[in-house]
Chains A and B, each alone.
Chain A
Amino acid sequence: MNNNATGPTSEMVEALYRAESRRVLATLIRLLGDFELAEEALHDAFRAALEQWPRDGMPANPRAWLVSAGRFKAIDGIRRRARFEAIDENAAQAIAAPDDPATWGNEDIEDDRLRLMFTCCHPALPPDAQVALTLREVCGLTTEEIARAFLTAPATLAQRIVRAKTRIRDARIPYEVPSPDALPDRLESVLRVIYLVFNEGYSASSGATLTRPDISGEAIRLGRLLIELLPEPEAMGLLALMLLQESRRAARASPTGDLILLDEQDRSLWNREQIAEGLALAERALASRRFGPYTLQAAIAAVHANAPEAAATDWSRIVWLYDLLVQVVPSSVVELNRAVAVAMRDGPEAGLALIDALLARGDLADYHLAHSARADLCRRLGRNTEARASYQRALALVQQEPERRFLERRLTGLKN
Chain B
Amino acid sequence: MKYICLGYYDEKRWEMLSESERNAWMDECFAYDDVLRKNGHFAGGEALQGAQNATTLRWNNGKVSITDGPFAETREQLGGILILEADDLNHAIQLMSKHPGVRNGPFEIRPAADLTEMVRASEQRRSARK
List chain A positions with a Cβ less than 8 A from chain B.
122, 124, 170-174, 176, 178-179, 182
Contact = CB atoms under 8 A, between A and B. Distances in A.
A172 B94 contact: no
A176 B90 CA distance: 9
B1 A182 contact: no
Given A172-B88, A174-B88, 5 more contacts: A124-B89, A172-B1, A172-B89, A173-B88, A174-B91
Interface in B56-108: 87-91, 93-94
Interface string B45-62: 000000000000000000
Interface string B9-41: 000000000000000000000000000000000
A176 B1 CA distance: 17
Interface of B: 1, 87-91, 93-94, 111
Contacts, number: 25
The 7 closest A-B pairs by CB, nearest first: A174-B88, A172-B88, A171-B111, A173-B89, A171-B89, A174-B90, A172-B1
Give the secondary structure class of B's interface: helix
Nearest to A175: B88
B89 A174 contact: yes
A85 to B, nearest CB: 11
Contacts of A179: 90, 94
B94 A182 contact: yes
A86 to B, nearest CB: 12
B90 A178 contact: yes
A176 B91 CA distance: 11
A170 B88 CA distance: 10
Contacts of B88: 172-174
A292 to B, nearest CB: 21
Nearest to A181: B94
Contacts of B94: 179, 182
Contacts of A171: 89, 111
B7 to A, nearest CB: 18
B117 to A, nearest CB: 11
A178 B90 CA distance: 8
Contacts of A182: 90, 93-94
Nearest to A124: B89
A174 B111 contact: no
25 contacts: A122-B89, A124-B89, A124-B93, A170-B111, A171-B89, A171-B111, A172-B1, A172-B88, A172-B89, A172-B111, A173-B88, A173-B89, A173-B90, A174-B87, A174-B88, A174-B89, A174-B90, A174-B91, A176-B90, A178-B90, A179-B90, A179-B94, A182-B90, A182-B93, A182-B94
A170 B1 CA distance: 11
